[in-house]
Structure 1
């Protein structure tokens, strides 16, 4: 009986791997394990789904070095599951470990897709609206838990627009310490006022203290961030309303 269960899991898992591989631009390694058997599938149930991948490329320029994801028990559409397509009937919780390299992060930041998603940021500074328009950003991971950002933006205030270049060094929030800004320097332009820096820090604090972030059919919470020389690792808890099948959805 156990051999039959293993065969059913293997067939379903291989079908799911083929479907996901076809949705990716590139993939070095992928392993999907649908933890179930035929009897449970006919009842619309599965013990869980695990997903592990390396070198996943989506949207042409967005690459993930490594991802591991495990769901808890799920309720699925039994007819789609028989063909290796996992469609959820109820939301499911999952945990994920995602590794990004410095090279891949900068490749993504320079991509047309990420550029199109960048929005202007508006801040209330003593009753006046000041706007940042991102132009370019690069990330460096020197180690010791630090992230260095170098960027250019357009600053719009008091009816004037002027360019500004900056470097910033920060330590992201982890399970044991709050986020820390070690330095912020203007390398081009006339600099910024103390009032604007204060408003910027307050906005960043609000974003970092959000209980969870939502993106389409997924809500996720970053539990921990580990920054090493050349790479960044995220530990994430997610609630998934639907297993992503499109290229964009698969990236999270």
Structure 2
């Protein structure tokens, strides 16, 4: 006779895979493994949930090459679990390993979704406000732990607006070293003042030291970044108030 506990796990896992796969634009591979049994389901508990995915595409232009996520023990809604949907009764901690390729990152940066989220920001430069409006950003991963960024912004200062192009090479913050800027060069727009460069560096430091990021029902804390040739590997700790649902994955 088959192991009834394993049948329950298979049902929950396969149903969760089906629900999420239906809302992804594309998925080369997705596997969800729910560790639980009938008694724990009735009590609203599960030992853990693991998610493995490859080639996941959300909203057409947002693609993740690979993700592996593992939760700790969780408290779930037993009625929803019986129908194959995992709803959390309490927040749960998880750790994820995410691989992003250079090609996918640039496709995402050029997508309508990301462009709609790009906002201008202001800097106080010696008592004067200078505004930046991002127009284009490209990321290159040449290896040796380096990230190269090439971009173009509209620079608004002293009542004038002009394009400003730049290239920057940096090493991201890791568990063992702070973020390092190796070079910054102006490629369009005639350069900028030392005072503005200083203000930009302070802004960049502020952004790189943000302790966490929030998206929908999840809070992300990047523990480590490994830069490889053509890809970026992130080790991320998350706290979720809900497992990503089909509605979350398909929301604009």
TM-score (norm 2): 0.96
Provide, for residues 79-109 of structure 1, a one-character-per-residue CA deviation record: whole Å limited to 9, x for no partner.
Answer: 1111111111111001000000011111111
1:250 CA drift (Å): 8.1
The 5-angstrom pairing of residues 1-252 of structure 1 reads 3-246=3-246, 249=249
Alpha carbons 2:53, 2:66 under 8 Å: kept: yes
Question: 1:60-86, CA deviations, whole angstroms, 9 ceiling, x for partnerless residues?
Answer: 011100000011111111011111111
Alpha-carbon contact 1:28-1:56 (below 8 Å) kept: yes
**Whole-angstrom CA distance in 2 between matches of 1:118 and 1:14:** 37
Work out the number of aligned pairs and report it: 251
Contact 1:149 / 1:168 at 8 angstroms: preserved in 2?
yes
2-side partners of 1:108 and 1:239: how far apart? 24
Distance verdict in 2 for CA 1:222–1:215, change over 3 Å: same
Partner Cα distance (2:91, 2:198) in 1: 39
Per-residue deviation, 1:193: 1.1
Q: Give the gaps of 5 or more residues in structure 1.
A: none
1:114 Cα offset (Å)? 0.7
Q: 1:247 to 1:134 in 2, by over 3 A?
A: farther
- Check the 8 A contact 1:59/1:248 in 2, yes or no: no
Q: Which runs of 5+ in 2 are unaligned?
A: none
SS at 1:28 equivalent: strand
Q: For the residues of structure 2 that align with 1:79 and 1:21, how far apart are their CA atoms? A: 22
Question: CA offset at residue 126 of structure 1?
Answer: 1.2
8 Å CA contact 1:24, 1:247 repeated in 2: no
